[in-house]
Amino acid sequence: MDKLKSVLSGEEARRDDRTVIETVNEASTLGWGTRVKGFVACFVFGGVCTLLGVCVLFIPKIGITLFIVFYTFGNICTLGSTMFLMGPMRQLKKMCDKTRALATTIMITCLVLTLCAAFWWKNFGLALLFVILQILSFAWYSLSYIPFVREAILKLVSVCLK
């Protein structure tokens, strides 16, 4: 209880000369077991949403809209699930790293544009194009966490295109 009081009053931040974000992060850390449970729950929920989106794709009239919503929400949940393992600040720093910045930007832009194309512009062909770009950018982003895989894929593609 004393730790909580010192955090809320700001005494601890002044005492150790830490930033407010560092103090809040320290005060709100989750245990490893809770982090793993949160990751699994969010990842599974994202996967279920994605599969549900594929299942409702062929419902007449509203199927494509439901697919877009479920698929995009599933991608957001899957991406958010890793924040349980690393923490939000570390995840955001890794997403903005120079090796992932382009893929992250394209992925988030496609997530937003998919929903815009489906709901505001009512252009489902464009929405499906953005879904395909979501898939590709999410895959490219995910592959950046495996050393040398993206370079190998680029070499393979360059050899195939010659």
Per residue in 139-160, pLDDT (tens digit) is: 998 888 888 898 999 999 999 9
Q: What is the spatial distance between Cα 130 and Cα 109, in angstroms, rounded to a whole number?
A: 9
Residue 5, class by beta-carbon neighbours within 10 Å (0-12 exposed, 13-18 middle, 19+ buried)?
A: exposed
| Co-location of 40 and 112 in the same domain | yes
pLDDT tens profile 73-91? 999 999 899 888 888 888 8
| Co-location of 72 and 90 in the same domain | yes
Query: What are 63's two structure tokens?
Result: 């199927």
Which residue from 80, 76, 72 is spatially nearest to 127, judged by alpha carbons? 72
126: pLDDT confidence band, cut at 50, 70 and 90? very high
| Co-location of 5 and 76 in the same domain | no
| Co-location of 10 and 35 in the same domain | no
Query: What are 52's two structure tokens?
Result: 């549900």
Q: Which domain holds residue 15?
A: 1-30
Q: What is the spatial distance between Cα 86 and Cα 42, in angstroms, rounded to a whole number?
A: 14
b/e map of 108-131 (b: 16 or more CB within 10 Å)? Answer: bebbebbbebbeeeeeeeebbebb
pLDDT for the residue 43: 94
Span 88-98, average pLDDT: 89
pTM value is: 0.72
pLDDT for the residue 49: 95
| Co-location of 73 and 13 in the same domain | no
pLDDT for the residue 113: 95
| Co-location of 82 and 2 in the same domain | no
Ranking 2-11, 15-24, 45-54 by mean pLDDT, the lowest is 2-11
Span 134-142, average pLDDT: 91
| Co-location of 7 and 54 in the same domain | no
CB 65: neighbour CB atoms within 10 A?
16
Categorise residue 10: left if φ over 0, alpha if ψ from -120 to 50, beta otherwise: left
| Co-location of 23 and 103 in the same domain | no
| Co-location of 15 and 52 in the same domain | no
47: pLDDT confidence band, cut at 50, 70 and 90? very high
Which residue from 82, 18, 75 is spatially nearest to 47, judged by alpha carbons? 75
pLDDT for the residue 12: 52
The count of structural domains within the chain is: 2
